[in-house]
Amino acid sequence: MLQSNRIHILFLCGAVVACSGQSDDSEIRVARVGDNMLYLSEIEEFVPEGISYSDSILIAEDFVRKWIERELLIKKAEENLTPEQLDVSEEIADYRNSLIIYKYKNQMVAQKMDTIVRDAEIEEYYSQHAENFHLTHTIVKAAFVKIPEEVADPELLKLYCMNSSDEDFRDLKEYSLQYAKSFDTFNDTWVDFRRVIINLPDLPEDPEKFLTGNKILEIRDSAFYYVVCIRDYKLAGEPAPVEYLKGQIKGLILNRRKMEFLKKIEQDIYTEGLRSHKFNIYDRKKQP
């Protein structure tokens, strides 16, 4: 906590609530509800470093108000609930047990679960669930170039676009790095078509339909020449290419693997407990 923030909060103590005159920050009292006390050190931990005087005062005031509201609500609940209702020991035990089980499982996943997903697994998963993978939007492999009109060479740029070979795209990149105001290439990566054309000053009436008959989208305004070179495309509703889904499928595989891994942990612990006689199951019919 910066010294300035401490000063701001101390000012709040003097201006808004009655603080004690003690010099130790950890013991400076800011507010009290019943027997519960709010100390300056608790507020300091909450207020971010480096913020302005006015912001630190507002945050500190809000913290104090919410603390008081919460404590008053707890006190009111304690005064109005029955002893049975106030006994939350079972809920606390259930929450503790759930929390430590959750932490243990996460630790086991982090330490022992195989997180490597091979391309063959992705291909297999895709082939088994291909009917579930249809595009909801149009995607393309393309390049976007924005060049000042005075240095643009549209014919050369269109030549690079029309050929669409790896060599031509390298030439396009070199040209654009030298002259372009803005340049993005998605030559080998499928991306949302909207991401490519978002910076165009104008668009065809139906951009997706335009794709079916054109490899080049060129537009001019008063200052710039824009060109989008389309190397490949897939329209919304078509099967999604597996390479476009790699990240998504990897996540699905890992999630399924995690569930199987955790289920095996539970089974192994049960089996080990049975083998080590760590539990008993009693026959109710034989009990008195």
pTM of the model: 0.71
215 vs 212: CA distance, rounded Å: 8
* 87 within domain boundaries: no
What local confidence, expressed as pLDDT, does residue 3 receive? 46
* 128 within domain boundaries: no
b (16+ CB within 10 A) / e for 123-142:
eebbeeeeeebebeebbbbb
Band (288; pLDDT cuts 50, 70, 90): low
Are 246 and 230 found together in one domain?
no
What local confidence, expressed as pLDDT, does residue 139 receive? 94
What local confidence, expressed as pLDDT, does residue 176 receive? 87
Query: pLDDT tens digit string along 27-62?
Result: 788 889 999 999 888 888 888 887 888 888 888 889
Closest CA to 63 of 7, 2, 9: 9
Residue 4 has pLDDT above 70, yes or no: no
216 vs 263: CA distance, rounded Å: 53
Are 254 and 125 in contact, with CB atoms under 8 Å apart? no
* 288 within domain boundaries: yes
Are 29 and 165 found together in one domain?
no
Are 42 and 97 found together in one domain?
no
Query: pLDDT tens digit string along 116-167?
Result: 999 999 999 999 999 999 999 999 998 899 999 988 888 888 888 877 677 7
77 vs 33: CA distance, rounded Å: 14
Residue 250 has pLDDT above 80, yes or no: yes
CATH number, position 207: 3.10.50
Counting the structural domains of the chain, the total is: 3
Q: How far is CA 175 from CA 181, 187, 237, in A?
A: 11, 15, 35
Are 180 and 206 found together in one domain?
yes
Q: How far is CA 27 from CA 4, 49, 68, in A?
A: 19, 21, 18
Both tokens of 69, joined, read 């509201």
Instruction: Give the lowest-confidence range in 110-119, 201-210, 220-229.
Output: 201-210
Band (18; pLDDT cuts 50, 70, 90): very low
Are 3 and 49 in contact, with CB atoms under 8 Å apart? no
What local confidence, expressed as pLDDT, does residue 20 receive? 46
* 86 within domain boundaries: no
Q: Which amino acid is at 288?
A: P
Are 230 and 179 found together in one domain?
yes
Residue 12 has pLDDT above 60, yes or no: no
Are 13 and 74 found together in one domain?
yes
* 220 within domain boundaries: yes
Whole-angstrom Cα Rg for the chain: 32
Q: Hey, which bits of 19-177 come out as E strands?
A: 29-33, 36-39, 139-148
> What number is the average pLDDT over the span 184-191?
86
Q: What range defines the domain where residue 110 resides?
A: 92-122+242-288
Residue 108 has pLDDT above 50, yes or no: yes
In three-state secondary structure terms, 191 is strand
Are 194 and 142 found together in one domain?
yes
Residue 16 has pLDDT above 50, yes or no: no
Task: Report the mean per-residue pLDDT for the chain.
Answer: 86
> What number is the average pLDDT over the span 63-73?
94
Are 47 and 98 found together in one domain?
no
Both tokens of 63, joined, read 């913290």
